[in-house]
Copies of this chain bind each other. A is one copy, B any other.
Amino acid sequence: MTMSTLKELITHEHLLPVAPMIYAAWADGVLSDTEMTSLRAYATGQDWLDADAQAALGAWLDPEDPPSATTLTRLRAAISTSAGDLSQCHQMTLAALGERIATRENGQHPPAWYSDDVRAHIEAIEKNLGFAPKDAASAILLREGALPAAQRFEEPEADFDIDAMTRLLDGPWRETWKSVRALLASDAFEYVDDVSTDAYREQVLDWLKVVARHGFGDIAPKSKDPSMEEIGASMGRFMASFEALGMFDLSLAIKFGVQFGLFGGSILFLGTPKHHEKYLADVGSARLLGGFAMTERGHGSNVQDLQTTATFDPERDEFVIHTPTDQAQKEWIGNAAVHGQMMTVFAQLHTAGEQYGVHAFLVPVRDADGQPAPGVRLKDCGHKMGLNGVDNGRIWFDQVRIPRENLLDRYASVSPQGEYSSPIASGGKRFFTMLGTLVAGRISVAACGLTASKSALAIATRYGAMRRQFGPAGKPESPILNYPTHQQRLMPRIATAYGLHFAVEKLRQRYIETRGNEDNREVEAMAAALKSFSSWHAIEATQAARECCGGMGYLSENRISPNRVDVDIFATFEGDNTVLMMLVARSLLSQYRQQFENASIFTLARFVAGQAASAIQKRNPLVTRDTAPEHLRDADFQLRVFRTREDDLLGSAAQRLKRRLDNDMDAFDAFNEVQPHLLSLANAHAERVVMECFAEGVDAAQDPALKRTLTMLRDLYAMEYLHRDIGWFLENGYVEPQKSRAIRDLRNQLCADARQQALPLVNAWGIPDGVLSAPIAFPR
């Protein structure tokens, strides 16, 4: 092939400075014919272009006779050759490039005819045609991107001690985390994808047995007659293991929760020493596999009305467990489809002609050979969206007889004569006390979902720091984590995961400290709020991570999508999130009522002070309009604004309810009508609780670098959740438009700041490489 020089190709020396523009006009393809014509007309009548040059330019710009593809390709090559090495000066307009070419073709100086007027004229043409940016030249000439670099990290240094952060987060459960990390890094724990449901279930059971062999299934202390403190410490260790197992396969974590937490926990907390001695060791070692048969087809959320009966027969000193209707079948029972041998069954206790409400009974459902016990029918629930390593099943009982001693009788017992007795007189209170066993489960689900979100966020962040796509002309492509939209999907969730970590930790501590108390309603409400908040966060974070990794996030081997489908049910099991949030709202309303009706000086004063503070804030323009970063980043402001929203929503919810009840509306209907408002209230409450725990976590951090980093994340959490609900704050006059803008700007700036430390932040979660596992999370 013959290579033409640029001068030959362009045919006239005076066209050299506009050659790049001629090329751009055709190559960029965005100029209409009209514009092309006007470019031609514009160039006409310039005295630096003689008639020959004008004719040549006309030929180049004739819409009726465009240059061929080959000509255009050659023009680019010739411009490129003529311009020489552009790598050091990619910031160049087309006019400047044209000047450089004309200069180089002329030797070292611009040609004599290239006056300042000519330059100004050419610059004006360029601007007029919309080729404004300073990098127009390279954008067009250096179109070929570099070969994509191998996937590797080129990230800023950590500006805090990653190990120190891991220790801070591990907190009181450092030893548990360390031993779970070590265990999961062993050979036994290798992910399986794309195996049959049967094989997956057996794999998960094998893992469960390994975990049990290492003692993680023991929820009860070793000592006989342990103190409340000892039981608390054991429970804490158990719950921390559950949380840490969330780093690996969630089917294992949930089966662990079913076997040891729900089945073992129901025996420990609802049973008495005779049950403990007989069963707990075998349960903890996974020799006796069992489950927690509460949910029925007809009653999932409304468990108080479940229909299975347990009728005492004094003749034979037995209870008869029975499924009266098909709607009373036990459904979704973990371990029921294949592995479970015994179940803690919840049923309405009948004795001596009275019904005493829901109680728990130990019922064998399979013999040693895995055959159903007499009168027991078992059925697989079938394939699910996720968690297919857990064998959920359905159970029907046909007059199944169990000894009287199989009633878990901590809160109620029946004498051989059929006389019922309970330390708790109220059926409702007794029921909710028994349900207290679910609180540890809810806390663990919150913790485990949080861990799963960390895993997905860590993988997506590591991938985003390595994966490159698009970039400035003539430069390497940019890591996708450098794009603001990408940062704004991942960074707020990383901040939330940090905040939630402190909140879950505090909740667990309070649960352990108060577990003995009869009235644990505050911890129960906190568990309900954080279980919902955490599971929704986990769904959102794994979803964002999935989308941020594109197709790679969709591949099972990259671990994000298995986490995504597994956590989906976290919003449903252990209490449907919306139902739990109603429970939270009712608890807040009940506290609110007591604040007034107890007329205790202290609570009233606190309330009035709270009202006054929010009223002041509402009216004081210095606060509603203050947009200074130091104000927005002040923890006091952050705490106040979250509290104010909650107080406001609580007060208005109470008023709305009262108005309806005063108008003789049914309580059921009244609550129904204000349900969306109550949901907002419960969400505001959960966000405030996390905000407070986050601020406390920051305050407690000693190391200045950790404190600085956590403060940045706390600020991001605060701005993120203010921003999400900014409509409410604006509508209610708590912020003015300029403040709303400042909040958004600060949130975006903090996302960019967090991005600088993104890798250290996710690495500090201490998920071992082998457990993280996803190929896209590692350089190659």
Contact = CB atoms under 8 A, between A and B. Distances in A.
Interface stretch (A5-13, A235-243, A325-333): A325-333
Nearest to A536: B547
Interface range, A side: 35 or more
A132 B661 contact: yes
B144 A305 contact: yes
A774 to B, nearest CB: 12
A669 B428 CA distance: 63
Contact of A302 (B193, B381, B469): B469
Interface in A50-92: 66-74, 77, 91
A590 B556 contact: no
Interface in A279-311: 295, 298-302, 304-305, 307
A72 B661 CA distance: 28
Contact of A669 (B419, B427, B472, B547): B472
Contacts of A732: 737
Contacts of A741: 731
Contacts of A553: 572
Given A425-B71, A473-B668, A726-B727, A305 B145 contact: yes
Contacts of A425: 26, 66-69, 71-72
Interface string A551-573: 10111110001101100110111
A44 interface: no
A554 B426 contact: no
Interface string A672-700: 11011001000000000000000000000
A667 interface: yes
A556 to B, nearest CB: 4
A510 interface: no
Given A134-B666, A485-B578, A29 B432 contact: yes
A568 B555 contact: no
Contacts of A573: 551
Interface stretch (A179-187, A222-230, A348-356, A604-612): A348-356
A139 interface: yes
A197 interface: yes
Given A569-B551, A733-B737, A668 B471 contact: yes
A273 interface: no
A673 B733 CA distance: 30
A69 B302 contact: no
B135 A70 contact: no
A534 interface: no
A428 B28 contact: yes
Nearest to A332: B551
- Nearest first, the 3 closest Cβ-Cβ pairs linking A and B are A29-B429, A385-B561, A148-B298
Given A70-B420, A301-B550, A471-B668, 6 more contacts: A67-B425, A73-B420, A133-B670, A384-B554, A385-B546, A485-B676
17 contacts: A28-B428, A68-B422, A69-B425, A70-B419, A70-B420, A147-B307, A147-B324, A193-B383, A194-B382, A385-B562, A482-B672, A484-B676, A550-B572, A551-B573, A565-B565, A727-B730, A731-B740
